[in-house]
Amino acid sequence: MQNKQLHEISNMAISPDERAFFEELGTRIAEFRKVQKITQLQMAEIINASQQTVNSYETGRRRIPVSTLPILAKTFGISIDELLGNDDKKTRSKRGPVSMLQRQVEQISLMPRTKQKFISEMLEAMIQQQRSA
- What whole-number distance in Å separates Cα of residue 57 and Cα of residue 109? 24
What pLDDT, on a 0 to 100 scale, did the predictor assign at position 1?
A: 46
Q: Considering only CA atoms, which of 13, 7, 26, 37 is closest in space to residue 104? A: 37
Domain check: are 21 and 72 in the same one?
A: yes
Of residues 32, 27, 24, the one with CA closest to residue 72: 32
> Are 34 and 82 in the same domain?
yes
| 113-to-27, 42, 48, 120 alpha-carbon distances in Å | 35, 20, 17, 10
Question: Cα–Cα distance between 85 and 8 in angstroms, integer?
Answer: 31
Domain total for the chain?
2
* Residues 64, 14 within the same domain: yes
Pick out the chain residues at pLDDT < 50. Answer: 1, 3, 5-11, 89-93
Q: What is the pLDDT of residues 109-124, one digit of tens each?
A: 777 888 888 988 898 8
User: 59 lies in which domain range?
Assistant: 2-97
| 85 and 120 inside one domain | no
Judge whether 28 and 83 are in contact, CB under 8 Å.
yes
Q: What is the pTM for the complete model shown?
A: 0.58
Does 80 lie in the same domain as 22?
yes
Q: Is residue 44 located within the same domain as residue 107?
A: no
pLDDT of residue 6: 38
Q: Which helix (H) or strand (E) holds 81?
A: helix 80-83
**What whole-number distance in Å separates Cα of residue 111 and Cα of residue 133?**
31
